[in-house]
Structure 1
């Protein structure tokens, strides 16, 4: 009997130890589960709150207090919280709370509204999700979460505004992948190109690109994949009806938060009407220039004849006047030649006929003509007489006349003007140097744009149309060269370019 009692007592102790161990394991798992839950809550920036009828107070987590602009030691009642709700939302929220308080059923709520922070009174959007617990038809507990959704709301508003701007824009706005597949297509794109969104989205952008422009799209895509943008690129595109239209494109890469390129945005502006207007203007200028050039050529011949006859007249003023007439007629012919050249370049009708020719005789012609319009400049030619170049002689004459003429014009106080050339590796560097007004670094970047003129007090009385340097730039481009400038304001300028030489 005694053994049986000992045995029962031993089993009872073992059973208690097992239950205690089991309870400890369960408690440890519960604590681990709570820790994981807290980590999950912290990672989502969720605040938690808990109202208990027995306790009569509201527990606000640290994240809730941060959202509401409270310090860690601050405590507020539910009523104080309600008073911080924006006045526009307050009555609706209070009605909802009253409905919950008077209710007899458990349930879930999910509401969004604005609150004013306690610390700086700033307005923040929050989302409240909670569960109501009821016992014996009485509200006993109300727990839930709080999340600051201000950034999400504002991002949504910005996206809605951006979508409205895109939809109402007069410019075609097209989204595409880095492979050129169209992903978005606004109303203006439909109007411009004739394709409805359902017809074109998912298709390659090559569908609206003419055959002779396919390669430029590959070039543009390669630049964008490298993170570069393309601005005001003028080209042509094909509509659904097969019509070619002139467009100006601004194309940018679309990047995610990690700066990865995830797409391409293209804005296209129809400039067909502008191009047609420019063509009409150029045609008119070309026609007028041509009509003027014919009589001026005759006047020049008569002026040159007068100069020859004047050398036999004792009165030197007669020779001076005849020489001036010749100089001004040549200047007018040079301007008209520039206008005609500009028109031909824009129409793509200018031809380059390269030959080998000696540079020195051409330089002599250019400087001789320059002497007719300048009396207080020292004109100098520097370079080996044996040098020949491979270029279009007449186009090079036009380039050098413009550069030397500019050097004289923008050195109003006189001084030296040098036309020279020198070897530069396997090229010949041709330059025109002056000690005139000089150009700022900012203006240097725009000098070779069509119709661009430096606007300052020193130049306001100097005549010009801003086409000479543009023409120089284009003629050299057609030769496979580029014009460049080194200049300091008040010290002068050096304009230079490179040609293929032939040393005889």
Structure 2
């Protein structure tokens, strides 16, 4: 039985006999203050709670009596304290599975709670029983965890799943703070997140958060929680529900995707609609030297963009945000490690929810620096090509087979054709070539096809008006389409006219000089003969020395005449048997008589005869040996090597003189070119001897080559065929 209202409202200490009376009650009695802290328990209550009175006093009911705790009891106690109205509830303990009937009577300092154990409700209480069963079934129907908490975070009820995972018993956790649940104790970071969530929920907020827990040392679980506050009719928060969803597999899949996203060569990112960062992969963080924490929520991504590109990128981004459409833009991004900018192509697209609202932007940045540089180089190359094509000095055309398909204005002006003629296909590489140069042009075409490049050569075009245009032509095959050729044409008419004038002058001068020089030679020889007959030997010797420069002048004039004849194609050749070995020894002996400083040594033998012009071949050998002596002033020997095979005979002339630099070796066979060394004294001559020698050897079907090393001398080799089916002579 219960005391009357007056005695319940007075402090227990005001009635000395009251404690003794309460000890005789068959019901378990607890006096709780307004915080549900135990201020008094009778003997029956202490036995029900399984502890001594001393141990129970001053402790929280929810922590001291886990087998009594339930959500219904918590709600009833809280309501009775706040409303000061008596309540009675019946519920089933989730730990002992026994039914309990509780009467709650408010007092001035708290509430009196009478607990009585009972049996399952009788038929009149079937509705209560069924309600309790539905509650428990609903609680256990959650495949993951659901916990009911006090606003302070104490566990009022919990379903079986988290208990099984943590290998904990219900009585060990009911009434205890959720942060001390076994799975949470090994995760300090998760505990901090839980505490923060409870504080937010106590303020009436619904909280979403994710944690990683370690139920066992060797395994972990990723959980997503929703903590929701529940209020009474007066909007006071009665309790909190915390529902957890196991997202371990999803998080593992997410981590696999993140790992994949971290190793791909692109930057991958996600942003909220306000431009703040939601996610960025490791590539981006390495590039910008930032951590995931520094990057999360940061909206300063534009600071990595090149200042010249920044506004353009921001304008593109804002346009896409306002229109809700995908976008792409090229720009430069700063690489922190190298402090250099690289070009990237950024693409972004919106992600919408079921209502069509943009919740997120996702995108990638692809490195296009090499491509961009190639584009810039290509553009610059095109600009250079355009500048070259627009040149008013060099004619340029592109041909496919014989047809000229493109030409610059300079080439059209040079040949007298128009763009309309070009469009109508009236211009052709061979059709415009003068017949005298068709063979050489065909050779040039074969050379271009074989080597993809064409060494410049001389030819003549027939212009639209029928006039002839001397030109110098070079070209290359286009690498992307070898069937097309790019040719460069230089107007050679001025040079040809100058050469013609020079040749005419040389020819005229040579003939004009030859006649008086011949007279001088004859008179000198006549005078020397008469002086010898009259016994004036000393005077005759003086005249003999005077003949030497005359002989030199005669040779130079002869070379000038030969050059003129070569240019005119009128250099005469004889066809006669020539004993090469005898010719070489004869020349060696003759030159040896005139040279007192060098010894001419012939090596080897060449017992053979060829058909040629003995005088012209003698001219070649005299020139080579004479040059060997002239360009080796500090040496004492000139070697002549003979070698013969069944096909050809080779004559080598080797000196040990100043040598010829690499850059001059191909030029020494040009007319009027002379190899020189500034450290040497001036050497007389017109530089025509080797040019004439090369022409003579070529007409004999042979070749002349040179090998040289500066400071160690030169070797000229003349190779002449012994049998020729189509002689040039």
Q: TM-score range by the shorter chain?
A: 0.7 to 0.9
Match for residue 57 of structure 1?
277
Question: CA separation of 1:419/1:354 partners in 2, compared to 1, >3 Å: closer, same or farther?
Answer: farther
Q: 1:174 aligns with which of 397, 403, 409?
A: 397
Question: CA separation of 1:226/1:499 partners in 2, compared to 1, >3 Å: closer, same or farther?
Answer: closer
Q: Give the secondary-structure state (helix, strand or coil) at the position aligned to 1:144.
A: strand
Q: 2:706 aligns with which of 477, 482, 485?
A: 485
Question: CA separation of 1:146/1:399 partners in 2, compared to 1, >3 Å: closer, same or farther?
Answer: same
Question: CA separation of 1:291/1:226 partners in 2, compared to 1, >3 Å: closer, same or farther?
Answer: same
Distance 2:418 2:270 in 1: 54
Provide structure 1 residue ranges, at least 5 long, that are not aligned to the other structure. 1-30
Question: CA separation of 1:131/1:190 partners in 2, compared to 1, >3 Å: closer, same or farther?
Answer: farther
CA RMSD, aligned part only? 4.0
Question: CA separation of 1:49/1:189 partners in 2, compared to 1, >3 Å: closer, same or farther?
Answer: farther
Which is greater in Rg?
A: 2
2:307 is the counterpart of 1:84: no
C-alpha distance after superposition, 1:311-348 (max 9, x if no partner): 33544332322222222111111111112222332343
Match for residue 160 of structure 1?
379
2:439 is the counterpart of 1:215: yes
2:672 is the counterpart of 1:451: yes
Distance 2:336 2:395 in 1: 47
Distance 2:381 2:639 in 1: 57
Q: Is the 8 A contact 2:606 2:644 kept in 1?
A: no
Question: CA separation of 1:308/1:408 partners in 2, compared to 1, >3 Å: closer, same or farther?
Answer: farther
Q: How far apart are residue 422 of structure 1 and its match?
A: 5.3
Match for residue 314 of structure 2?
94
Q: Is the 8 A contact 2:280 2:292 kept in 1?
A: no
2:328 is the counterpart of 1:110: yes
Q: How far apart are residue 228 of structure 1 and its match?
A: 4.6
| Structure 1, 469-478 or 198-207: larger mean CA deviation | 198-207
Match for residue 407 of structure 2?
185
C-alpha distance after superposition, 1:214-242 (max 9, x if no partner): 33343333333333532232222333333
Distance 1:110 1:384 in 2: 82
Match for residue 450 of structure 2?
226
- TM-score (norm: length of structure 2): 0.54
Q: Give the secondary-structure state (helix, strand or coil) at the position aligned to 1:311.
A: helix
Distance 2:513 2:499 in 1: 21
Higher relative contact order (CA 8 A, sep 6+): 1
Distance 1:106 1:314 in 2: 123
- TM-score (norm: length of structure 1): 0.76
Question: CA separation of 1:355/1:64 partners in 2, compared to 1, >3 Å: closer, same or farther?
Answer: farther
- Count of matched residue positions in the alignment of Structure 1 and Structure 2: 458
Question: CA separation of 1:223/1:358 partners in 2, compared to 1, >3 Å: closer, same or farther?
Answer: closer
Q: 1:296 aligns with which of 510, 513, 517?
A: 517
Distance 2:573 2:344 in 1: 71
C-alpha distance after superposition, 1:96-119 (max 9, x if no partner): 434555x3x422323333332333
Q: Give the secondary-structure state (helix, strand or coil) at the position aligned to 1:339.
A: helix
C-alpha distance after superposition, 1:75-116 (max 9, x if no partner): 636633211222122223334434555x3x422323333332
C-alpha distance after superposition, 1:147-193 (max 9, x if no partner): 3333333333333332333333332233344x455454333333333
Match for residue 395 of structure 1?
616
Q: Is the 8 A contact 1:174 1:267 kept in 2?
A: yes
Question: CA separation of 1:319/1:89 partners in 2, compared to 1, >3 Å: closer, same or farther?
Answer: same
Q: 1:251 aligns with which of 475, 497, 511?
A: 475
Q: How far apart are residue 472 of structure 1 and its match?
A: 0.9
Question: CA separation of 1:378/1:306 partners in 2, compared to 1, >3 Å: closer, same or farther?
Answer: farther
| Structure 1, 426-435 or 274-283: larger mean CA deviation | 426-435
Provide structure 2 residue ranges, at least 5 long, that are not aligned to the other structure. 1-252, 724-729
Question: CA separation of 1:118/1:192 partners in 2, compared to 1, >3 Å: closer, same or farther?
Answer: farther
| Structure 1, 323-332 or 417-426: larger mean CA deviation | 417-426
Q: 1:318 aligns with which of 498, 522, 539?
A: 539
Distance 1:381 1:271 in 2: 46
Q: How far apart are residue 449 of structure 1 and its match?
A: 3.1
Greater helix percent: which structure? 1
Match for residue 90 of structure 2?
none
Distance 1:347 1:190 in 2: 31
1:256-267 aligned at under 5 Å gives the runs 256=480, 261=482, 263-267=484-488
Match for residue 22 of structure 1?
none
Question: CA separation of 1:252/1:234 partners in 2, compared to 1, >3 Å: closer, same or farther?
Answer: same
Question: CA separation of 1:167/1:376 partners in 2, compared to 1, >3 Å: closer, same or farther?
Answer: same
Q: Is the 8 A contact 1:438 1:490 kept in 2?
A: yes
Q: 2:422 aligns with which of 185, 200, 203?
A: 200
Q: Is the 8 A contact 1:484 1:497 kept in 2?
A: yes
Q: Is the 8 A contact 1:210 1:238 kept in 2?
A: yes
Q: Give the secondary-structure state (helix, strand or coil) at the position aligned to 2:477.
A: strand
Q: Give the secondary-structure state (helix, strand or coil) at the position aligned to 1:483.
A: strand
